[in-house]
Amino acid sequence: MTAHHLVARRFISDHAKSLIDNAVKQNALVVFMKGTPDEPMCGFSRAVIQILQMHGVDEITGVDCLQDPEVREGIKEYTDWPTIPQVYVKGEFIGGCDVMVQMHQSGELHELLVKEKLLDEETNPEPEK
């Protein structure tokens, strides 16, 4: 691989990588999103927050990607995932809105949240209407 290839593939700045690393490592659950958990600025971010809230997750750390263009683009490079929102649990990338919806519907999300001690086993999501 030539030096040109190395430079061409590295889009994430040191600033963005440091911020993302810190957010992922210091929070049990973090959502890189458009807006904040209290005020999501897109439907996909809102859906992810609502799913987590339905499961009884009280503490959701959100990183507003709209506030920092480097983070907005850097998070996509960090995970090689093209869209926002992105959800991390205990340092592990879980997925975006589509993955969260699938995990919610299959019951996998509840299992993951219990396994990672973000929920008590007795906590059940509200039934879908």
What are the tens digits of pLDDT across the range 53-94?
999 998 999 999 999 999 999 999 999 999 999 999 999 999
Tell me what pLDDT residue 10 has.
55
The type of residue at 2 is T
Which pTM does this prediction carry?
0.86
CA distances from 44 to 8, 10, 34, 66, 119 (A): 30, 27, 9, 14, 23
What CA–CA distance (Å, rounded) separates 129 from 119?
22
% residues pLDDT > 70 (the chain): 86
